Amino acid sequence: MKIRYSTKDFILMCMFVAVGIVLQTVDNMIMFGSVPGGKLGLSNIVTLLNIFILGGNNALLISVMRAFLGSLLFGGVSALPYSVGGAFFSTVAMIYFKNKFYPELSEIGLSIIGAATHNFVQVVVAAIIMSSLKILSYISVLMLVSVAAGFVTGFQVKYLNKRLLNSSLFKKN
Amino acid sequence: MFNGKIITKADFLVMIILIFLSVFSFLFAFSSKTEGNKVLNIYSDGRLYATYEIEKTDKPFEVNVDNKFGSLTICVSKEKCYVKNSDCKDKLCVRQKEIVEANQILTCIPNRVIVEIASQKEKDVDMVAY
């Protein structure tokens, strides 16, 4: 299989990976609460924007790449399955719901779904790795966290999206 | 900037469903009985590492848990249990609230340690004859 990208798309994707890593760094600094995974998920802004700008497949590639590089930079190899698993499944969920319900379900709803999937997958991965079902009791707290965090990031995507899609940089030619 | 609705009906529905799920799973996770003796179980890398009957301890003491991922120090007393020290990167285990009641857990994901308070039913034995 050979995938060809135009130079512009290629540069844009690299740029989005870089922006995602920066947002992930900021994210690691402002953890709120004491629950594992109680984070704002700012890099989800980049992923959701990419679904609209560059399309689903590219967004999936970008988010997995960002999670891979980001976790190697900060969390170490042990954080890799959590980060990559969460990023992959949350992006897949957001693409699915975007294709099915987009105009009715706005960016805020999509972002909340992405955040909830991300947290859910991370808890399940943790339960598998630590071989204990007790971790699953974190789901109740994390669902509430993901509603709040998803609302915040979705709100930003909603108003960024309108402006970016109209800018000349992202116009399809 | 804020022309039009911010939240659509479908967004609202998603939020309601997730909040409902959260409440439901909370009730499910913490509904088991909390009577009986409280026991502190420490799991390290998926295996039971140590068990303490915390109601019988008079003095607070510290437990060191070492495995191939790292080590952490857990403070155990009658009133509360918490992680005092850990060599993991994110230190989330130290920042978690101390656990008091049954069914509460502390975790250190990088070191693969789980600390839980379970309630042990008192054995219904009338008399033991040797």
B88-104: pLDDT as tens digits: 777 777 888 788 887 88
CA distance A161 to B61: 55
- Nearest-by-CA chain A residue for B89: A75
Q: Which residue has the higher pLDDT, B112 or B1?
A: B112
Give the pLDDT of residue A111. 93
Cβ-defined contact of A147 to B92 (cutoff 8 Å):
no
- State yes or no: pLDDT of A32 exceeds 60: yes
Q: What is the pLDDT of residues A62-81, one digit of tens each?
A: 999 999 998 888 777 878 88
**More confident site: B83 or A171:** B83
Residue A93 above 90 pLDDT? yes
- pLDDT top residue among A10 and B6: A10
Run of H or E including A29: helix A7-29
HSE (side-chain half, CA atoms, 13 Å) at B43 = 21
Interface test with A, best of B86, B107, B116, B119 (most A CBs within 10 A): B107
Strand B105-108 to B113-120 pairing: antiparallel
**Between A47 and B130, whose confidence is greater?**
A47
- Please report which residue ranges of A74-106 form alpha helices under DSSP H: 80-101
User: A42-51, B31-40, B119-128: which has the minimum mean pLDDT?
Assistant: B119-128
Cross-chain CB nearest to A116 (options B18, B45, B89): B18
Burial class (CB in 10 A: 0-12, 13-18, 19+), B53: exposed
- ipTM (interface pTM): 0.81
Percent of chain B with pLDDT over 90: 6
Give residue for tokens 């509603």: A147
Contacts of A138 in chain B (CB under 8 A): 107
Cα–Cα distances (Å) from B100 to A48, B80, B119, in that order, read 40, 5, 12
CA distance B99 to chain A (A): 13
What CA–CA distance (Å, rounded) separates A81 from A88? 10
Residue range A41-53: mean pLDDT, rounded: 89
A99, with CB counted inside 10 A (0-12, 13-18, 19+), is exposed
Q: Which residues of A touch B18 (CB under 8 A)?
A: 112, 116, 143-144, 146-147
Per-residue model confidence (pLDDT) at position B123:
54
Which of B6, B14, B31 to substitute to test the interface with A, most A CBs within 10 Å? B14
Q: Does A100 touch chain B (CB under 8 A)?
A: no
Q: Which of A3-7, A136-140, A148-152 has the lowest mean pLDDT?
A: A3-7
Give me the mean pLDDT over the B10-19 stretch: 90
Cβ–Cβ contact A108 with B under 8 A: yes
In this predicted structure, the answer to whether residue B1 has a pLDDT above a threshold of 60 is no
Q: In chain A, which residues have their Cβ closer than 8 Å to the Cβ of B26?
A: 140-141
Give the mean pLDDT of B4-22.
Answer: 87
B125 close to A (CB below 8 A): no
Q: Per-residue pLDDT tens for B16-32?
A: 999 999 998 888 877 76
pLDDT class for A61, splitting at 50, 70, 90?
A: very high
Compute the distance between CA of residue B15 and CA of residue B23 in angstroms, rounded to an integer: 12
pLDDT, averaged across chain A? 86
